Structure 1
Amino acid sequence: MNSKISLPKTSAKNKMEVMPILPLILNMSIPPLCSMFLQYTYNFVDCIFVSWISEDALTAVSLSFPITTLMLAMSIGIGVGINVLISKNLGGKNFDEANSVVTHGLLISSVLGIVLNLIILLMIKPYFKAIIQDYSIYSLAIRYMTICAFLQAPNMIHIAIQKIIQGTGNMIAPMLFQMAGVLLNFVLDPILIFGFGPFPKMGIEGAAVSTVLGYTLSMILAFYVLIFTNQKVRIKLKDFKINLEIFKNIVILGLPSFIMNALGAFMVTFANMFLIVYSTTAVAFFGAYFKAQQVVVMTVNGLIQGCIPIMSFNYGAKNKDRLLDTFKKGTIIAVFLMTLGALLLAVFPRQVLKIFMASDSMMELGVPALRIMVCSYIFNGISTMFASLMQSVGQIKYSIYINLSRQLVILIPFMWIFTRFWGITGVWVAFPITEIITLLFCWHIYKKQERWI
């Protein structure tokens, strides 16, 4: 009886094949755009409140950021792989296969979440010993990350469900359970850090506990939405069999998104290695800047997360015109958002840094540095959108090449070369130069697009 009720819903036309492209992009992108914005406010909010403790505490959280970024990158990578596979199957009218992907996606997310939690607990001490000389900062970083490690399992599961639901075209529900977790974190951060009423003063551990509880709430609400509300896909239990090919496809299709986000962690680690030579203030500034930058960049990634299911769906449906129209209009929106973000940071750098209780020395260093780095934002938006197009049409290697170029292969050597000529300013200059070169590479690939689409 259950299958009879759901049958008309699967036969109805999906909005991704009939709705006009621009309204569709806005409809699909605004909720995940808000979700991605909220996702990255976890660490942003932590940094704001932690900066009130001390600059050492802010430095400790900044040095922890590569680890938390890797954790989030794995979650987003698996989630996007699930999303692309579900969208493609729905576009091809393979509804039972889409339900099978849901179950496989939840399995791989749960297992990886637990395994990664254990790995992080084992690696944090040697990692921080290798990069931190100051014992007080080292102690703060260990105390923070020992608790934050436990966010990985709820993080992976709730993002997997978020991407499952987004893959069907429902973008509102994921935004709501994401918002609930962020709001809980925002409320608990000052209460647990500084102590209030019956709650003890926990310091930097309070920031970590509030973050873990925020992700846990999002996971609980995500399960409720998937299981107890009417969705176009469901967990498949009857006649379910493990299919290793589905696991493989989830990992492969999500690999570009994982690399794009994980490379941010490696980039921050390498940048910190250059900056620590000059001062811990430079490291604290870069950590603060990177949080502000992520709010801009990850908001655009929210736009991309809305465009990927549309492009994947229409690629599966063999509708080339809608696929390319989505890419072109999405790119225009991405450029607009990145330009707006760049202007805000360039015009109000002091106000942004004051959020993190910047000292006079951090302000003197940070204002010109911030204005140089934001010059890269416009180029970043175009190349990131193009990498997403390649991901949607199965050209995974080109998507990976683009992300590797932007954040590692070109950027790090340029940092090394430019610091030899301009000192610490060379670190900042490397960012816009790298994005310009990457954009030229994207244009070269784009001219060959007819072979793949």
Structure 2
Amino acid sequence: MQTNNKMAVAPVGKLIWQMSIPPLISMFLQYSYNLIDSAFVAQLSENALTAVSLSFPITTLMNAASIWIGVGVNVLIAGYLGKKEQDNADTVVTHGLLLAFGIGALLNLFALLIMRPYFWAFTSNEEIYQLSIAYMSVCSFMQIPNMVHIAIQKMIQATGNMVAPMWFQIAGVVVNFVLNPILIFGIGIFPAMGILGSAVATVAGYLLSMILALALLLGKKQKVKVKIEGFHLQKQMIGRIFAFGLPSFIMNALSSFMVTFVNLFLVAYSDTAIAFFGAYFKVQQLIVMTVNGLIQGCLPVMRFNYGAGSSERLHSAFRYGTALVTGMMILGTLAVILFPAQILGLFTASEAMRSFGISAMRIMATSYLFCGLSTMISTYFQATEKVGSSMAIQLCRQLLFLVPSLWCLDKLFHLNGIWLAFPVAETGTLLVALIMMAWYHRKKS
């Protein structure tokens, strides 16, 4: 009976923590990859940091595609298991793996084909261009293992197991962290590979995550398995995987397009500005996406109680989640505002970068709280089947408000205007989200 389900009867606060901690840790580890790479690469030179920063939109878009397939598979498997259709759930597993390997290979090839014209569009510095090519020519091979391990992660999460997938990423992050200095600077028997070493360490981390994920899926009894006997490709199922994962892809891909737009403005100032923004954005992503892990834990609680018609528990989960998000975002804001010099020190920042970077970080950090609150409202709409409203908020943040703000404030305040565009866009997004929420409740009452 429904009353025996913990989603219906457990204390909301305790339930949110139980549901949130695994994805919170998972998101923290996932976004540690990029920060670790940049911190070690920055010790080589600022040009090397710029090269990694220019590569970030490509790798982010690749990661968004991985999440697209993963979320689509997750939603379908969870639905079939809920209806006790085991055969269909297993069929989704096989489709998911085939799509992950096939699309991963295509995206790998795509990255190799576009990287030369892409990098030339953002730098005329020959050294930065060559470093970017060297880094991306290896890093593009992360896509197949990344896509496969995320697909398996989402398959296992769909069965209710939120803990095991964390270990895939923990193992990958540890390998990346250990191999980075060894391969970049050359320690022991290993030669110094420079920026190539960072790319190899990244691919190795993802590869280990994929191997462990496959071993768990194939070697240990799971609630879903790969279906081989009687399997045939189903166009309708492939279409449903794409359809269910599309909103998540759009939300994650927006961040790649946003960084590209910002770099188009920064290229007019200096390569140092591009290097700085790449380093800063990895810090921001670590904070914002870790909080998003918490928000992911709130979503199923709100979704269940909305479906169950329990308005009181739905709104209790929203209020509790909002309070936690507010607290975490305030802590993240204070960390960046109080310690910008120390954070830039992680990236071996030059005096030129520090001259504008310290104030820039403080300006942009003021947007975190607004970002967290509007994302929580967006998630509430997602839980209550208002997907269009949810996506509209994301579009406002990273496109509809940000790009015009960048253009106007760049004209008015030059480089400082670019940094100011972020809190301006986030403030506008939060106002829109609050108006939408008020309108939704007034319409409902």
TM-score (norm 1): 0.91
The answer on whether the counterparts of 2:123 and 2:271 sit within 8 Å (CA) in structure 1 is no
State whether structure 2 residue 251 is matched by structure 1 residue 260.
yes
Percent identity between the two aligned chains: 54
Structure 1 stretch displaced more, 261-270 or 185-194: 261-270
Distance 1:398 1:251 in 2: 20
Q: How many residues align?
A: 444
Q: Which residue of 2 aligns with 1:55?
A: 46
Q: CA deviation at 1:206?
A: 0.4
State whether structure 2 residue 391 is matched by structure 1 residue 400.
yes
The answer on whether the counterparts of 1:87 and 1:309 sit within 8 Å (CA) in structure 2 is no
Distance 1:295 1:181 in 2: 17
In structure 1, runs of 5+ residues without a counterpart are 1-10
Q: CA deviation at 1:298?
A: 1.2
Tell me the alpha carbon deviations over residues 261-304 of structure 1, each in whole angstroms, 9 at most, x when there is no partner. 21111111111111121221111111111011111011012223
Q: 1:273 aligns with which of 264, 280, 291?
A: 264
TM-score (norm 2): 0.92
* Residues 392 and 247 of structure 1: CA distance in aligned 2, closer, same or farther (over 3 Å): farther
Q: Which residue of 2 aligns with 1:133?
A: 124
Distance 2:319 2:76 in 1: 22
Q: Which residue of 1 aligns with 2:62?
A: 71
The answer on whether the counterparts of 2:122 and 2:267 sit within 8 Å (CA) in structure 1 is no
In structure 2, runs of 5+ residues without a counterpart are none
The residue type equivalent to 1:203 in the other structure is: G
The answer on whether the counterparts of 2:123 and 2:267 sit within 8 Å (CA) in structure 1 is no
The residue type equivalent to 2:372 in the other structure is: G
Matched residue SS, 1:131: coil
Q: 2:133 aligns with which of 117, 127, 142?
A: 142
Distance 1:331 1:437 in 2: 19
State whether structure 2 residue 110 is matched by structure 1 residue 119.
yes
Q: CA deviation at 1:228?
A: 2.8
Q: 1:174 aligns with which of 165, 179, 188?
A: 165
Q: Which residue of 2 aligns with 1:361?
A: 352
The residue type equivalent to 1:123 in the other structure is: I
Matched residue SS, 1:233: coil
Q: 1:250 aligns with which of 241, 264, 270?
A: 241
Distance 1:388 1:248 in 2: 24
Q: Which residue of 2 aligns with 1:227?
A: 218
Q: Which residue of 2 aligns with 1:3?
A: none
Matched residue SS, 1:436: helix
Matched residue SS, 2:28: helix
Q: Which residue of 2 aligns with 1:107?
A: 98
The residue type equivalent to 1:51 in the other structure is: A
State whether structure 2 residue 424 is matched by structure 1 residue 433.
yes
Distance 1:137 1:277 in 2: 16
The answer on whether the counterparts of 1:83 and 1:309 sit within 8 Å (CA) in structure 2 is no
State whether structure 2 residue 277 is matched by structure 1 residue 301.
no
Q: Which residue of 1 aligns with 2:364?
A: 373
* Residues 116 and 316 of structure 1: CA distance in aligned 2, closer, same or farther (over 3 Å): farther
The answer on whether the counterparts of 2:91 and 2:226 sit within 8 Å (CA) in structure 1 is yes
Structure 1 stretch displaced more, 89-98 or 357-366: 89-98
